[in-house]
Amino acid sequence: MLKKSKQEIKELVKEEDSDNEKTPKKKRISQLEFEKKIKELAKKGLTSEKIGEELKKQGIHPKEYNKKISKILEKEYSNPDLKNVQIKLEKIKKHYEKNKQDKRAMRERERIFAQLRKIKKYLGIK
45-70 confidence digits (pLDDT tens): 888 888 889 988 988 888 888 888 87
Residue 114 domain boundaries: 80-123
Judge whether residue 118 has pLDDT over 60.
yes
- More confident of the two residues 34 and 114: 114
**pTM, full prediction:** 0.54
Phi and psi at residue 56, to the nearest 5° = -65, -35
Number of domains in the chain: 2
Residue 8 lies in a domain: no
In this structure, the answer to whether residues 72 and 85 fall within a common structural domain is no
Residue 91 lies in a domain: yes
In this structure, the answer to whether residues 90 and 119 fall within a common structural domain is yes
Asked whether the beta carbons of 72 and 35 are under 8 A apart, the reply is yes
- More confident of the two residues 114 and 26: 114
In this structure, the answer to whether residues 58 and 88 fall within a common structural domain is no
Residue 1 has a pLDDT of 44
Judging by beta carbons within 10 Å of its beta carbon (0-12, 13-18, 19+), is residue 29 exposed, middle or buried? middle
Residues contacting residue 6 through CB under 8 Å, at least 6 positions apart: none
The mean pLDDT of the chain is 82
- More confident of the two residues 80 and 93: 93
